[in-house]
Amino acid sequence: MKNTTENNLRKDKYTTRKEVLTSFFLSNEYSLATRKQIIALFSIPEHDQKQLDRILAELVEEGIVIVDDSNRYVPLNRTDYVKCKFQAKSMGFGFGIVEDGDDVYISSKNLNGAMNGDEILVETFESSGKSREGKVVKVLKRNIETVIGKFTKSKNFGFVEPIDDTIADIYISKKNSQNYKTGQVVKVKLVKYPTDENKAEGKIESIIGTEDDAHIDAKSLYVSYNLDILEKFNEDVKAEVAKIPQSVLKKEKQGRVDRTNERCFTIDAADAKDLDDAVYVKKIDNEYILSVYIADVSHYVREGTALNKEAIARGTSIYIPGTVIPMLPKELSNGICSLNEGVERLVLGIDIKMDLKGNVLQSEAFKGVIKSAKKMSYDKVYKVISNTEDEETKKEYANFKEDLLLMQELAKILNEKRINSGCINFDIPETHIVLDENGDVIDVEPYPITFANQMIEEFMLAANMAIAEKYYYLELPFIYRIHEKPDEEKLRDLNLVLSNYNVRIKGIKDVHPKALSDILNNLDEENKDIVSTYMLRSLKLAKYSNECLGHFGLNAKYYCHFTSPIRRYPDLFIHRVISKSLENNMDFKQNELRKLDKQAEEYAKSSSEMEKNATKIERDFDSLYSAMYMERFVGQEFEAMVSSITSFGIFVKLKNTIEGYVSFADIPGDYYIYDESSRLIIGRKTKNVIKIGDKVNVRLIKSDVLTKQIDFEII
């Protein structure tokens, strides 16, 4: 106990000294000083100077200060340096992604050994293009430790060609190459990172397979993201899960609102196993009452447990074709936390009373227990509400038809209300990869969406907004889902694209979501898809925050993620806050509020990062399977639409959602020149114009599974 206390005291002292030194450097009064001058200024005794060196090294590593040619410590905000994260592109260049500010273009000659995802320090300078340009001064923190790739052996050494096309070949010494054969797909641990002069060097850790193995590309990508590790949970988590009962205990129902005798049901994809929301709608005296029930995951995932620690680290579930890497073990996600038909389940619920126009009159959150009356599927529910059900569906849903029609009635009111208020509906079809029982891709198609999906979406949006507003006014620590206003420069670029459709955004200095919404709503379906995609790229990414900053895309002042605690940690965290507030009648101790405040800030940041990581993984798998699927169609012709135009070529999108690249050299009849001011290309001789949204006929000339690149030519 004594040793623990002494360690904590030393840790607190170190933290305090680091904070003091950081404040000293960032102060306006600070004059650039060397290590020797800092020792003199603070009168630091010799026995504390090792600790000073450690603190100084950390501040340099973290990018708080840099050391100049005179060995003086210079605060970053007094330099032309920018701290950012490197986003590599396949052609050898990349961008420094700045948290608050414009991204920095970094050419291949200015990388200084930076790799995708590294935290870097960049010196910016003027460039001829529009974007800022920079040179990597220092890599602050490495992101990549292991790489997956194909091994090739030569007489005196070997090398690995990574499946990630942003990474150059990795040198393997002769000593480390002896036990491996050309064509093997291997996992490599980096022992030396690349520099401007030398390639990265690695040591092979394991063999994944050979390039001829079935599904080796998918397996390689799977291992490259460590999903083979994430698919399992550690022993501490397993031990805790083993103690969780798989049915609701009598004592757990005490103090909860009992809704087991009231009707509710789940509506999900037919093969869904993690059913975390159930709904029901009543209509009384010209008022709707929408009841949304969400699995009370926080009852089972408690603070201080290995289960909670693992959920924080994962942040979100990852959905890839054929499987899911869950945030929580299946004993919870598919078991006691899944609102399965006919069994009691603990929930956090909200009743929302609305008038005939969908305006919220009153809402009340509560801890409850329910018993779902029916597990419904989107496809069958749509048959019922569209009056197209077959005899089997008609019989199965006979007792629920009136309920579903009332739900449809309310959902249409809510949908119309959102559209009229200016909510932007990005109707961009998601890619649906269809695999057979062997894991082979048999089709790629737009994900089927009907009003049954939209109905549940409307109810979840209503619940998320009502909860966010309620807890904003209670002034409790919370995690909100925010979407900040777009940058003026991005909107000006968007206007260049919109000019092709004879429309433009007015008042971009203080744009309202309705201005963008109206543009989309006035386009036909084909053009709406392309413009929606481009518009979405022009907006900022939605993220999590402990501050309620509103959601631009939804035109919502208050918004959070409350409805999916099985697969998203922010939902789980706010469930914990809601539960505590209901149990304690809103009475929190000050130290508890401070703790929750700190957690909200920390988890919002980490969950936003993990969400971006999950999105990248999911997109990479979609790209891989799309390339695998298109391999069989090389030489065939397709109808497509121009989805994007760049200075080095154009991108086209097929009706099945697959996107591919067309080089200017593969557009026949002329040499095309990129017009940046209009975001289109013009034939030098013919003056023929190709712009975003144009329909074109293309022939597939290559589908490269390794690079996940699909190349077309225009015919």
Mean pLDDT of 439-465: 95
pLDDT for the residue numbered 1: 41
Residue 527: predicted pLDDT: 81
Angle at 248 between CA 243 and CA 250, to 5 degrees: 110
Predicted confidence (pLDDT) per residue in 501-541, tens digit: 888 888 888 899 999 999 998 888 778 888 888 888 889 99
Please, which pLDDT band fits residue 697 given cuts at 50, 70 and 90?
very high
Return the residue matching tokens 């020149």: 673
Bridge partners, residue 646, by sequence? 649
Question: Could you please report the per-residue DSSP string of 410-453?
Answer: HHHHHHHHHHHHT-----PPPEEEEE-TTS-EEEEEEPP--HHH
**Radius of gyration, CA atoms only, the chain:** 28
DSSP letters of 147-202?
EEEEEEE-SSEEEEEESSTTS--EEEEHHHHTT--TTEEEEEEEEE---SSS--EE
What are the residue ranges of CATH 2.40.50.140 in the chain? 80-141, 634-714
Q: Is pLDDT above 70 for 11?
A: no
| Length, in residues, of the chain | 715
Amino acid making up residue 533: T
Q: Domain 80-141, what fold?
A: OB fold (Dihydrolipoamide Acetyltransferase, E2P) (2.40.50)
Q: What is the CATH number of domain 634-714?
A: 2.40.50.140
Q: How far is CA 164 from CA 17, 563, 626, 707, in A?
A: 42, 35, 16, 7
Beta-bridge partner residues of 279:
265, 292
In which residue ranges of the chain is CATH 1.10.10 found? 2-75
Task: Tell me the per-residue pLDDT of 557-613, one tens digit each, with 9 for 90 and over.
Answer: 999 999 999 999 999 999 999 999 999 888 899 999 999 999 999 999 999 999 999
**Average pLDDT, integer, range 339-367:** 97
| 625 has a pLDDT exceeding 50 | yes
> Looking up tokens 């790629």, which residue turns up?
444
What is the percentage of the chain residues whose pLDDT exceeds 90? 74
Residues 55-78 have pLDDT tens digits of 999 898 888 898 888 899 999 888
Q: What is the CATH number of domain 2-75?
A: 1.10.10
Question: CA nearest 107: which of 91, 126, 119?
Answer: 91
Does residue 9 register a pLDDT over 50? no
Average pLDDT, the chain: 92
Pairing mode of beta strands 277-284, 323-325: unpaired
Cα Dmax for the chain: 89
Q: Say if residue 5's pLDDT is above 50.
A: no
Q: 4 pLDDT exceeds 80?
A: no
Beta bridge partners of 700: 712
Provide the CA 643 distance to its chain's centre, in angstroms. Answer: 22
Q: For the whole model, what pTM was predicted?
A: 0.88
What's the pLDDT score for residue 2? 39
What are 426's two structure tokens?
């990005």
Query: What's the pLDDT at 63?
Result: 82
- Does the pLDDT at position 181 exceed 80? yes
Contact yes or no for 263/372 (Cβ under 8 A) = no
* CATH of 146-224 given 2.40.33.10, 3.40.720.10, 2.40.110.10, 2.40.50.700: 2.40.50.700
Reference 640, options 536, 535, 710; nearest CA is 710
pLDDT band at 127 (very low <50, low <70, confident <90, very high): low
The pLDDT tens digits for 322-343 are 999 999 999 999 999 999 999 9
Q: Which residue has the higher pLDDT, 300 or 61?
A: 300
* Bridge partners of residue 365, in order along the sequence: 350
Mean pLDDT throughout 156-168?
Answer: 90
Q: Quote the pLDDT of residue 130.
A: 53
Is 80 exceeded by the pLDDT of residue 108?
Answer: yes
Using DSSP bridges, classify how beta strands 374-377 and 265-268 pair: parallel, antiparallel or unpaired.
Answer: parallel
Ranges of CATH 2.40.50.700 domains, the chain: 146-224
Instruction: Decide if pLDDT at 549 tops 80.
Output: yes
Average pLDDT over residues 112-136: 83
Q: Which of 72-81, 167-176, 300-309 has the lowest mean pLDDT?
A: 72-81
What's the average model confidence in pLDDT over 201-228? 93
